[in-house]
Amino acid sequence: MTRRVGIYPGTFDPITLGHADIIRRGSKLVDWLIIGVTTNPSKNPMFSTEERFRMVEREVANMGLGNVEVVGFNALLVKFAQKQGASVIIRGLRAVADFEYEYQMAGMNQQLDDDIETVFLMADVSLQPIASKLVKEIAQYGGDIARFVSAPVCGEVEARVREQGLKGDY
């Protein structure tokens, strides 16, 4: 019997409670879950790839999941999944707007390798509005992000905002 390997890719800039929810639930669907921390310069990252990797690694360790590994990558997702021996790509959805983009990506990935299945997980209702982009924006304008990220991530984001300076008229 072969083990079912899944990939949950993302930039995780920063990792949110919504991401953590998908990791926890996704880890139950596969024998081995790889959290793929990737680059996406178009998202204007607050943290370097190495910083995000360490952040995700720490958050996953704190979850106590024995079947989850964090791996950095900078490649086409399907190629990364093939290299890892994955048969499943896990994607989290928050809203209908997410679905349209994710549906298109799943279709393209299927065209590249139809042996890799994409599985969509809806974020927990209480976590659906959380997006890394909005977390960063709230923090940059002096808002409280403690209910959207873990305490260690909150501290890292707040420290980075102090380094970069607050935005807006406060």
Which is the catalytic residue, given 19, 52, 91, 136? 19
Which is the catalytic residue, given 24, 54, 58, 94? 94
Examine the residue annotation and report whether 132 is marked as an active-site residue of this protein. yes
First to last CA, the chain: 60
Which is the catalytic residue, given 43, 133, 147, 162? 43
CB 7 within 8 A of CB 86: yes
Which is the catalytic residue, given 91, 132, 136, 150? 132
Examine the residue annotation and report whether 52 is marked as an active-site residue of this protein. no
Distant-in-sequence contacts of 151-155, Cβ < 8 A, 24+ apart:
152/55, 152/58, 152/59, 152/62, 153/14, 153/15, 153/16, 153/55, 153/59
**If you compute the radius of gyration of the chain from its CA atoms, what whole number of angstroms results?**
16
SS3 state at 60: helix
Catalytic residues: 19, 43, 94, 132
